Amino acid sequence: MSVITISREFGSEGDAIARKVAQALDYHFVDQKFIGTILTQYGYVEFDKEFSSLPTFWERFDAQREKQRDVMANMLNQVIQAVAHHGHVVILGRSGFEVLGGFADVIHVRLQAPFPVRVGRVMEQQGLSFEQAETAVKKSDKTRVAFVEEFYKIPWDSIHAFDMVLNTGKISPDLATNWLVDIAKVPVSSFEIDKPTTDSIVVDRILAETVSEVLNCDHAHR
One DSSP character per residue, 143-176 reads: HHHHHHHHHH-S-TT-GGG-SEEEETTTS-HHHH
Number of domains observed in the structure of the chain:
1
174 Cβ contact list (under 8 Å, min separation 6): none
Asked if residue 162 has pLDDT above 50, the reply is yes
Give the Cα separation of 116 and 138 in Å (integer). 11
The rounded radius of gyration (Å) of the Cα atoms in the chain is 17
Domain membership of residue 102 (yes or no) is: yes
pLDDT digits (tens, 9 = 90+) for 55-104: 554 455 455 666 766 777 788 899 999 999 999 999 998 788 888 988 99
In contact, 105 and 1? CB cutoff 8 Å: yes
Domain membership of residue 221 (yes or no) is: no
Give the pLDDT band (50/70/90) at residue 19.
very high
Domain membership of residue 222 (yes or no) is: no
Residue closest to 80 by CA, chosen among 180, 6, 164: 6
Question: Which of 14-23, 35-44, 95-104, 137-146 reaches the highest mean pLDDT?
Answer: 14-23
CATH for 187: 3.40.50.300
Range of the domain at 189: 3-215
Instruction: Tell me which of 35 and 45 has the higher pLDDT.
Output: 35
**Can you list the alpha helix ranges (DSSP code H) found in the chain?**
14-25, 32-41, 47-51, 63-86, 96-99, 115-126, 130-152, 173-184, 205-220
pLDDT (mean) for 111-121: 95
Mean pLDDT score of the chain, rounded to an integer?
A: 84
Domain membership of residue 220 (yes or no) is: no
